[in-house]
Structure 1
């Protein structure tokens, strides 16, 4: 579009004059931008178009910046580099010198200025030299091995293209490159020197214009980058930092100390901000004079941080040492309760130990007022030191991991038990990385039964939360764990419900069909009627998607006969005992209506709307009778689709609005997207293309986050169709 506008600008002056032509092109540009952002065109009382600034839409996952001292020259150098044609900028220097802090200071300032540039907000960063970007993606390799796939996922999720994260790596890389080529984004990779994946290096160096990459590294690995090397703080800046730290820790003597005295500390630390903070933390401790700290710093020389850690370690209480050693077990941050469980330090000693660690800057804590919301974390250097201590205590470390796994599992189960919505666990949403890490530790240490228990507790959250890759990976591990302990039934259940169903959601019909057949073969061997029927019901969905309606109907009819026989002969209590699967309590009453729903779906695909309606209405009555709200609202949606096909617009809108409202009540995001898509189709039929576009893009956003490929393709077709219709409508 921009190219077309440029052609117009060059051709129109000759025909109608430069000023008029420029005005026309400016108007077209304004309308085009409005259309891209799906905003109404502003007009005044005389029906004249008036430009209104677009709403802010700067994507960012930047961590918040901390108090920053000095570095004015370095800040200007980074800003200048970001404004240049250099695609990659590297901030390098020794560990603890302030590379990350500098990157955060500049990028947060750029974010604020970029955001204010899109709105009426006023920003402190009003300098014309401040770089502007459409989004900021922060990737940190501080405490984990980062591969290209991790960076691609972070880019996709930060820019709100969740569906891209579900694609294979090669397709994902191509899709992310398209995103980076479409707008001016800044990708920041922190601690680049720890990355060993050569694909990451290749990706960074080939980042497409107009986007840029900013990396921090302890090594000068990127010779092709615009390198900005930083050293220690200037003397006055370091004095300012020392005094501020003294004030924060209540060290009046240090806060009011003479410059000549502070000069020794400045020289010993080399002006490294992290070393200065640690040194002041040592002075805070009883018995540690400035002379003692200076001696330790001087003797460390190039290995300054290890020496500081060793000295700090000797000053820690036994409880504080235990807590510090467990911190590397956590993937990211940790709650106080989790730290308590892993370290086996409780009550007052726990509070005392955490206080000591925080005072010495060995552990950092968020500033939340409520204790339950506080999160504790450690700097990567501290993590490495603590990990070395933990490695020397193998037996103790294993017990700590086992205690944490037990805590995570019990907390997750209690949260599931106390929550009506088991797919929206508050505990899991806060602790998911740590939960998955504990589960993986159980698997790696051959605690097969506990791993299976973990997966049973977390599986619904992975399924309904759209963590499909994780669900596949853990499903494969569960399959192996079950076989290790001779639980062939659990392995077969996993093949059907976890692997087969997830492959189906990802539109990988062949893999889904393979897993369903694998499970069906086992259940037929052991003559498990319920699982045979359940597997057939799910396999029918694959046949339906392949267009083999005859096979789908045969499978579902066979399943339905079995469900009807079971429901007439087995009471609920004996059913749970006989068919021992963790979802049976929820699904036993729903087996028959779910089967009817599948038959309704087949009839709908065959355009037999009257028959489909009969199935859905019957399902609706059954689900309502035992208060299965999720499936009740789901059947309401399908009845809405039938009304839409029968051109019963008013009835269809009523049904879609009811299912949309219900989706929010039961926290079912899939149903929310389906309902919005239905409303979009109705709005298209009535010529309300703008409203239809809004509903369809909302639905598409959800589908992409969940990675539901079939729905993504269908909604994309609608969006494209609406775009063309809006364009024609605007032209008229």
Structure 2
């Protein structure tokens, strides 16, 4: 809720009246950036002192513009003089003292409110510079997921780590980007850091670009250095690694920050990194994205992203065509768009790639290229989404994954998959666990009736492109 001048004026007056008691009401001060950033290396119990510092700074500024108003507030509240004594000191009537006091408090509150607006704008600009995209991405079909993540981060208790999971291109980064844009204008977190562990990226104009974002995988030491820099803890920068990490932990444990770690699975020994992040959390939240499941880690709240529904996919296709001025392509019908969906499924990255290709290729050629994995951009798309996970699979896991296109989209039971793959139930459970952990297989159904399936794009990949991969380096 936006803070009004009237509300802040009341808070300033209340704080002044309690000046010598060493206490203050939490709201709205604990929601104001000009206050919370003063608590960066202190405990929440220091809130009254931080509020006093803000008021004293504002009082000094007021003194430059209206010395009489500032003097009156000092006499009445800092020196604790009654209205009568202050009136005598300033050669005013008591009635005039009360009127000038009210005007001075409102002027002081207005100055603090301006500082708060400037601080939030400055913070928002710094945080938005850290995001991968400068314009907010358009979301399709995941607004409920956005609400779930925001609800999780609003909790004032554990687990303190949350993870958005799913295969490449499914929209994990876009979802977290939307979360950051929603929170950056609030004072829920003192600051927000964004750390990308990704080395490669896929662009529609260059395809797969390897090691363009970083030369080496993200390590814990590099993560600490990045957080120290982004969160403004410059005094920690020159300390030895052990002391630097301890200092960072102390500050993240003292005040609430939000730390995004995008593409966690590409970090060095990410399994060992998760417990390290838990040590840094509380009341700071860590929000992770990963292609690998983190459900086995205690203290991590996981949210899995599935492919878009047909309706949401068609809406995305229409939006992309409109954005790229392709909505007037002759002959493109709703059925044509549904055909695109049947091949690519609801993977946003794949759908956007196909729309881009429709500028120079016929729709039938675009769809056929995806089916047959022809063309550098299509091959790069598959490699970007699947290669890392495919390279981690055992031969038996690859065998099971290869038969998944034979399973209905609604999912197949364990016994059915065992029959198709000729893998016995015992080993099959271990294989499915690995495929699920890598977000290659989805789990549906009730507790008593678990069913397993793959995304449509994964199905297309398995029927064509994967046949070339055993010989790939």
> TM-score under structure 1 normalisation?
0.34
C-alpha contact (below 8 Å) 2:369/2:378 kept by paired residues: no
Q: Which deviates further from its counterpart, 34-43 or 220-229?
A: 34-43
User: What whole-Å deviation, never above 9, does each CA across 1:593-630 have from its counterpart, x for those lacking one?
Assistant: xxxxxxxxxxxxxxxxxxxxxxxxxxxxxxxxxxxxxx
Question: Cα distance 1:300–1:162, how it changes in 2: closer, same or farther (>3 A)?
Answer: same
Alignment counterpart, residue 281 of structure 1, candidates 356, 377, 380: 356
| Runs of 4+ with deviation above 6 angstroms | 20-23
The structure with the greater share of residues assigned to strand is 2
Question: Cα distance 1:173–1:81, how it changes in 2: closer, same or farther (>3 A)?
Answer: same
Give the RMSD, CA atoms, in angstroms.
Answer: 3.3
Q: Please give the secondary structure, in 2, of the residue aligned with 1:250.
A: coil
C-alpha contact (below 8 Å) 2:193/2:258 kept by paired residues: yes
Alignment correspondent of 2:130: 62
Q: Please give the secondary structure, in 2, of the residue aligned with 1:238.
A: helix
C-alpha contact (below 8 Å) 2:195/2:223 kept by paired residues: yes
Alignment counterpart, residue 321 of structure 2, candidates 246, 249, 259: 246
The structure with the greater share of residues assigned to helix is 1
Q: Please give the secondary structure, in 2, of the residue aligned with 1:40.
A: helix
Alignment counterpart, residue 138 of structure 1, candidates 186, 194, 207: 194
Alignment correspondent of 2:264: 192
C-alpha contact (below 8 Å) 2:308/2:347 kept by paired residues: yes
C-alpha contact (below 8 Å) 1:243/1:255 kept by paired residues: no
C-alpha contact (below 8 Å) 2:137/2:174 kept by paired residues: no
Alignment counterpart, residue 289 of structure 2, candidates 206, 213, 216: 216
- Residue ranges of structure 1 left out of the alignment (5+ in a row): 1-19, 115-131, 311-391, 393-732
Deviation at 1:65, TM superposition (A): 4.3
Give the alignment of 1:4-19 within 5 angstroms.
Answer: none
Counterpart Cα distance in 1 of 2:148 and 2:105: 42
Give the alignment of 1:261-340 within 5 angstroms.
Answer: 261-285=336-360, 288-299=361-372, 306=379, 308=381
Counterpart Cα distance in 1 of 2:239 and 2:314: 51
Question: Cα distance 1:99–1:304, how it changes in 2: closer, same or farther (>3 A)?
Answer: farther
1:226 aligns with 2:282: no
Deviation at 1:154, TM superposition (A): 1.4
C-alpha contact (below 8 Å) 1:148/1:200 kept by paired residues: yes
Alignment correspondent of 2:89: none
> TM-score under structure 2 normalisation?
0.51
Alignment correspondent of 1:164: 236
Alignment counterpart, residue 101 of structure 1, candidates 174, 188, 197: 174
Question: Cα distance 1:23–1:36, how it changes in 2: closer, same or farther (>3 A)?
Answer: closer
Alignment correspondent of 1:202: 275
Q: Please give the secondary structure, in 2, of the residue aligned with 1:113.
A: coil
Deviation at 1:156, TM superposition (A): 1.0
Counterpart Cα distance in 2 of 1:308 and 1:208: 35
State the aligned residue count.
272
Question: Cα distance 1:168–1:290, how it changes in 2: closer, same or farther (>3 A)?
Answer: same
Question: Cα distance 1:154–1:138, how it changes in 2: closer, same or farther (>3 A)?
Answer: same
Counterpart Cα distance in 2 of 1:28 and 1:238: 49
- Residue ranges of structure 2 left out of the alignment (5+ in a row): 1-16, 30-47, 63-69, 74-99, 200-213, 384-471
User: What whole-Å deviation, never above 9, does each CA across 1:692-726 have from its counterpart, x for those lacking one?
Assistant: xxxxxxxxxxxxxxxxxxxxxxxxxxxxxxxxxxx
User: What whole-Å deviation, never above 9, does each CA across 1:608-653 have from its counterpart, x for those lacking one?
Assistant: xxxxxxxxxxxxxxxxxxxxxxxxxxxxxxxxxxxxxxxxxxxxxx
Deviation at 1:205, TM superposition (A): 2.5
Counterpart Cα distance in 2 of 1:270 and 1:36: 56
Alignment correspondent of 1:74: 145
